[in-house]
Every structure is written in C-alpha cells, then in structure tokens.
Amino acid sequence: MSDSVDFLVIGSGIAGLWFALQAVQHGTVRVITKDRPEESNTQYAQGGIAAVWSKEDSYEEHVQDTLIAGAGLCRREAVEVVVREGPDRVRELIDLGAHFTRHHDRADWYDLHREGGHSRRRILHADDFTGAEVVRALRAKGQAEGIRVDDHLVAIDLITERGLSRRCGEIPPAVDTVVGAYLFNPATGEVEVARAKVVVLATGGAGKTYLFTTNPSVATGDGMAMAWRAGAEMSNMEFVQFHPTALFHHTEKHFLISEALRGEGGKLQLPSGERFMAAYDPREELAPRDIVARAIDAEIKRHGLDHVCLDMRHLSREVIEERFPNIHAKLLSLGIDMAVDTIPVVPAAHYFCGGVRVDLDGATSIQHLYAIGETANTGLHGANRLASNSLLEATVFAERAAAHAGGMLGQIAEPREVPAWDVGEAVDSDEQVVILQVWEEIRRFMMNYVGIVRTHNRLTRARRRIRLVQDEIREYYWNFKLTADLIELRNIADVAEMVVLSAMQRRESRGLHYNLDFPEQDSRFIRDTVIQRRC
C-alpha cells in the first residue's frame, strides 16, 4: 500500500501555499507542483492585492465595487467574507515577511494603487512584481515549517470512491469521496498513487486554452479538468477574463502590462494617436476590464490593426522607474522606452472567473475535496473579476478551507487501498507532433470562436470541433504511454468543452460573456451556469 498523508495539496501558488501553512497545524501536508515550486500564476501577478486599508476607504465601498463589476452574479455572502476578512490576511502576509511598497513621501504608509472598477486607492503592491514577492515570503515560511514540496510531478486524475467502485466491480456509493490522486513523474515515466484524507485543488487557471494569454505555460486548467472528470459540479465557466493590455511583441508572448498603469493615468490610443475609450464608457481607461477589452477588440477589428497603444509619456522617467521598475526594464530589453514610446498592447486570456463550484469553506460537491484560488468558483467574481481581488480571495478561502478541513480531519478514516496505475497495452509514442498540432488547433479555435465576442454559430462550430478533437485525444491517450504534454492536452480540451457548454447555455450578454446574437442582459439568467459530467 502507498504512503498516505492527511492533506495533499496540488499546486504551489498563493492559494496552495497558504493552505499548507495553515493545514500543517492540523496534520501532515504534502504539496505537489508540476514545475519549479515558484512557477505559478501568482508568480507573475504584477498589480497587487486589493484590501480596505486607508481611513478614506470602507468595506461597503469595496463590496459595492465588486458587486458592480460582477454584473449581478456575485454571491453577496462570498463578497462580504472576502472583503471583511481580507485585510487580516494581508496583515498576516506582512507578518510573514512580504514587503509591500511604501509611500514615497511617508515611509510609515503603504503606497496604494487604484485600478479599473475601484472607487478608492486600495491596491497594496510590491512595485510591479507583487506576486513574486508574495510567493517568496510564503515559500520561505513553508521551508521554515518543514512543509514537504515535491516538484516536477504532474497530477493525472483524482482517485474517488465512486471511481474505485466501478473499477473493482462494486456498487458505487451515493455520495462520492476523494481518496487521493495519480501523479506522473516525467523524469521516470512512472505513475505514483498518492493517497490522502483531504485533497486540495490549487492549480490556478487555464489561460493556455487560448492562443493569446498572459498566463505561464503551466496554466492548463489541470485542477478544473480533474474535478470535471471526477464528476464535481462546475459553474460559470463561460466567464473568461481577457486582460485588456498584454504586450504585443513578436518574441515576447505572455508579458502583462499591468492595470496599474491605467490607474496612474495611462491612455489608450490608436497607432495614429487618437484616443477611443470615451466612446465606450464614461470611465474611459478606468472602466472594468471586460469593457476595456471589448473596446480594444472592436477598434482592432474596425481599423484592421494588430494592436493598439498605451501612452504613459505623461509620467517622468524617474516616476516610471520608481513605480514600474519591472515593466520598464522588460520593455527596455525589447527596445521600448515607455518614457518616450507608446506601448503596443492587445487583449489576452488572463483569468477564469468560473471553476469548481465551492461553498464558503472551499468545499466541493465531492466529499473531502477542496478547491481554492483560480481553480474554484467561490461566487466572489460573478460575471467579471474586479482587478486585484484574486490574490485576496486566494488567501481568504485558503484560510477558511484549512480551518474547515482541519476541524473535521479526526472524523475522516484512512483512505482505502488504491490499485496501481494500469498502463494496459499502451506503447511509447513516436508522433509527439500530433500533440502539438491538436494543442494549437484547440487554442486557435477557442480564441476565434469562444473569445471576447461570441455568436451562436461560432459556439456551435467550437462544440463540433472540440468533440472531434476529444475523440482524437481519447484514442491517443489510451494507445500511448503518458507524457506531461499529453496530460496537459487532455486537460485543456476538457476546459475548452466546459467553456463552450456553459457559453451556449447563457443566451444573453453579461460581464465577460458577450454574444452578438443576444447583446443585452436578460434577468432570466441572473443565476450561475452549473454543469456536471456524468460519471
């Protein structure tokens, strides 16, 4: 029988690490990550973490800003929980050693940014590499606590009682329970059985489902796809946030130009110098991301452009170097001096507002399975995420999930014995080019058919294509031995299917979901889109 731990945490971003730091007080913890421990969406978060911090701000204002951005679909309870508990989590981050930028005139004040959709300055940041600083602090604390982190292990599938029952010819239980996960080691080609009393999905988002994304290569929706295949409830997968301003460059494909630049007065314009945001929203560049992204998309299509421009030339070089050192240095390395040049930008897939459906403790519809961070749909974001709410949500729900799981740990029996992974008659593949071809096809038709602007015909084409692609992947998956690329391909295909199915059910336009055939909001759709795969 394989070894067992109390808590198996899949993912090493802010949500997974925060959960691990709290859960280690209750039992044994193992964190697994498929790349380097620091590689995650959190690592690349530039803008910051939103929290009511100044005396001029209030909980109610932050709640209202979040509800407005969410376009009627936020779960008010979740919003209240995150906004009110968030500042305490930020203080704990600071106590752990996270260094946020101080005000340039007052060393005892934190410098607070304002971003689109926020009525106040409430974004704490570490210059323009906040995520990296947060991960650094959490990893240092985790190492001090002796938390086990195993890298370069790729989660394949969850192991559940219902799945084991079918495999062993037993009657499946009425309520399913997770007991672990199968993990693939690319270095050895072996599959490990990892048993646990509690499994936590903290694998981040799925930006790599799209051709253009700000996400790193690890963002292939692994936790969402595994939960879907296991039969967990998923919700609001149609709401994919496209960041309005990713860098458009022929060699640098994933670099984000932070929302904070527009918060500091950055102006969007055509290459000719003409501004355009006033025609779309009275808040202009400070409108929520969905509005700004659609405006840019519309201008690009109207004028036959491949990008628009962001102008920061109103700021002095000294201010730019002080407030945006990371972005400034990166752009300089690419031959763009933001003190004298405009920045070429284009919208790109950035954040999934939907995910595994969870309650206020991060618990899913499968017993002892939790989902936190971008993998989960907590109800905070609704139809559109308010800028810089994601890191806050991750800390709050990781804390609540750890407390809930830790409190019930003594009531959970040791997980049952699990059969080894069955390779069957699979052989080594000599056609890796097939994986690359199908990967590119999925990402391209998702960008074209299920992107910023959708139509019923585009969604129908996408559904037809994803079914054909999944048949090909399924055949390949069982005929050939596993590789990390094949596992990720299977996951992005499943995420693509969920997005398409959810988008076809929402016959209106709301937040991040914009359908030209149904351009108005419809009160009949003020509800979550819940889907569940039959298992």
Per-residue pLDDT of the chain (535 residues; tens, 9 = 90+): 467 999 999 999 999 999 999 999 999 999 999 998 777 777 767 779 999 999 999 999 999 999 999 999 999 999 999 999 999 999 999 999 999 988 876 656 888 988 878 999 999 998 878 888 999 999 999 999 999 999 999 999 999 999 998 887 888 888 999 999 999 999 999 999 999 999 999 999 999 999 889 898 899 999 999 999 999 999 999 999 998 999 999 888 778 898 889 989 999 999 999 999 999 999 999 887 788 999 998 899 899 999 999 999 999 999 999 889 889 999 999 999 999 999 999 999 999 999 999 999 999 999 999 999 999 999 999 999 998 999 999 999 999 999 999 999 999 989 888 999 887 777 777 667 888 899 999 999 998 899 999 999 999 999 999 999 999 898 888 888 899 999 999 999 999 999 999 999 999 999 999 999 999 999 999 999 999 998 7
What does the alpha-carbon distance between residue 133 and residue 43 come to, in Å, rounded to a whole number?
A: 8
What does the alpha-carbon distance between residue 43 and residue 95 come to, in Å, rounded to a whole number?
A: 19
CATH number of 245-348: 3.90.700.10
* pLDDT value of residue 1: 42
The single residue listed with the structure tokens 């988002």 is 205
Bridge pairing between strands 154-160 and 178-185: antiparallel
Residues labelled as active-site residues:
289
What the block records as the tokens of 274 is 């003409």
What does the alpha-carbon distance between residue 238 and residue 427 come to, in Å, rounded to a whole number?
A: 37
* pLDDT value of residue 174: 86
Q: Where are the domains of the chain?
A: 1-203+214-239+353-421, 245-348, 432-526
CA angle at 235 for the pair 165 and 513, rounded to the nearest 5°: 150
* pLDDT value of residue 108: 65
* pLDDT value of residue 43: 76
The domain defined by 1-203+214-239+353-421 folds into FAD/NAD(P)-binding domain (3.50.50)
For 229, list phi and psi in degrees, rounded to 5.
-65, -30
From the number of C-beta atoms within 10 Å of its C-beta (0-12, 13-18, 19+), residue 421 rates as middle
What does the alpha-carbon distance between residue 94 and residue 91 come to, in Å, rounded to a whole number?
A: 5
Pick the CATH number of 432-526 from 3.40.50.180, 1.20.58.100, 3.90.470.20, 3.90.1150.10: 1.20.58.100
